Structure 1
């Protein structure tokens, strides 16, 4: 009688919600590297663009229905994940973002080695009692993470200042240089923006259309940019809950590209890439833009300074939520093509040397080796956190 041979490969379960944007790209890149290294990779996630992407790489995909925020469905989401865990039997769970981190740690409760990667802290995204509850949860939930992986030292510092304990590791985000590379502006621009004057200065902002990414601040700044550089055009690449509100107030010089499957041509077509976020861990868009040889303007949120070579900080970093300073930085670069070119070259050299995704994958592999060699403690859910779980 034939007996199946047990699979000796370490079994990693990536758990994620959201399934688009930067988090999805991080999960996809890690899955690609881990599959190549011989790990058995499963991704549990809701429907969306992530599932077919990682399935195409060879990962096992398990449907896990979950909303983006905590709510009444949370208990069912934990129960569903428990079923996935029983089926997959992973050696390690890697939970990405606040929601997956919440559900994952509640479902596992330290019984399986667990890596939690917040990709920006949940309590920064909300206010009032919700922020207080989110912070209390993160402080408690840290005991159920074998390692907390932050994408920047600044994100780690924010967690430490907030009183979140645990074992910390900083693994900066990385990009794929073979995908994000320079290309002739004229050629790419005619492909992505047919009918738009190819000589018009072009500013591109890539990100989900939501409060976090600060596109409303950029629109506030755009009035001043249009006065200084009248023929400039702004393209917002992405979709999200704020799309209609932003469209309703945008002037004709602002174009909406919607969600795209490949952001690289939009970076390549830009004269300048702007990301006016209100909070981050370490955004991928600036790294991808710099890898394409394009200069960037960022707000000084977690991870931004670490994304830039030190020489670019004075010209490329502005305070968050300040449209006046943002407009000044954008105008200065739009009016100086030689400076833009120099900053683009500096940014690309920096990203290739410090933010190659292969470096990220190696650092995460080291975290896994450390976690799989240590014990995991199991705990019970305290009653005082039920209010947050159901909020």
Structure 2
């Protein structure tokens, strides 16, 4: 049975692409960055700020939401969008990353992942079928297959075992997703660590099964950037050109710019909000560490030309004061500033691809990051 396609490829410039992904809750413009609202909330931001910043789609997490408040409870309350008041497109991560990050609490078998809840120690089984069931209860527009992600570096035998298991789980997830309402999507996840032939085998196996879109997983998990980019170069060209490509858990502005140049359409990462809570702002001049004492008497804003009010109006001195004083407002302002910057970067990328000037934009953006100004060239 063929899998319906909800993605329109609008323009290309080299390997870079811009398109439109139509979901039951709205249209997503790609390349797109998905802010991460793991447990149904964006840390430090209201949903209206996320929307005003330009985000079309956000991410929730199956593992965390199934534990608290519970998928069945969310379904009874009208689904994740109504529950959170986001009311826009939402992708849910299947919990595969937690299979890796909570290794001390879980056991992986052919059937499922069995683990102890990090909240209360309760025994939980997460199978491919249950992962899909939870995501259907949540009502997410885009569900992800359950996979096993291996932290790098790792032995080839471990990488291959996890990749083959993920392929078998992908098939089970696809069968379980057959009851999904029309318009909802399931993405397969390419695994294979840092081994090119395993990446190829995973991609081809997923394509044979057929999915609405394809993610590249198991990267940004300890490997150098050059390895991550090399694996994108191995996997992306194999994936169908008419389907969206999602690089999971990435990343820095530079990571995203380089991944777009290699054909990636979608991203997610906790970095904008996490770094904001730790006093780091992302700007077109590069990262700025507001904890540094040099900002204490600096009346300048982070970027007087920004179209985001907090970036344009708040002085570096004030932001420094808030962070050093431990004021919650400091983390809130920097989180919204960072989300707004990420969304502006995606918008500018889309426009550059449409104009056919992506490579010029890419080189100018990198030059701006590298040059910056004296106060903006702090190490993050």
TM beyond 0.5: no
Pair member with larger Rg: 1
TM-score of the superposed pair, with normalisation by structure 2: 0.29
TM-score of the superposed pair, with normalisation by structure 1: 0.28
Give 1 or 2: higher strand fraction.
2
